[in-house]
Amino acid sequence: MRLDYYDEIPDNMRAYLSEHGWHFSKKMCYWAISKMRDRQDRKLSPKSKEQVDALLKAHGIDIKNDNGYDAVFVYHMCVSDYLGSSVIDEACAARYVKDVLDDVDGYNGIAFTRFLADCSGKGVSIEWEDYI
């Protein structure tokens, strides 16, 4: 059971979770991406879900635990934080997305949970009513 199961959460967050679970909706995903910067401190040019799915398919990647827009978020997080360093190209970025979402000792909602932890750590508030 998740530790935050016992926490009081805002009603609008509860409404979001009841609709999307611990996963990214399209609107939440692209808001999160809008906050990302690449390694040269530039805003990202977001790819659509269809573009990310095509990229994964082009590299033979089949993700079993992709829900909502989770793969889109993880792809952009990888590009933002690692591409050009430990992740050398888009083929490696595609494998990174699979590694995160299909991690055998991971858990359902890992990408969204990490995003929430990052928001908390950075003091970024989420206007939940904008995403329900």
Tens of pLDDT, residues 67-116: 999 999 999 999 999 999 999 999 999 999 999 999 999 999 999 999 99
Task: Specify the pLDDT at position 118.
Answer: 93
CA angle 100, 74, 29 (to 5 degrees): 140
On the question of pLDDT at 4 being above 90, the answer is: no
**In the numeric block, which tokens belong to residue 50?**
């269809």
* Of 3 and 65, the one with more pLDDT: 65
Task: Specify the pLDDT at position 5.
Answer: 57
**DSSP category for residue 129:** G
pLDDT tens digits along 27-56: 999 999 999 999 899 999 999 999 999 999
**Mean pLDDT, to the nearest integer, of 10-34?**
96
**In the numeric block, which tokens belong to residue 63?**
């993700």
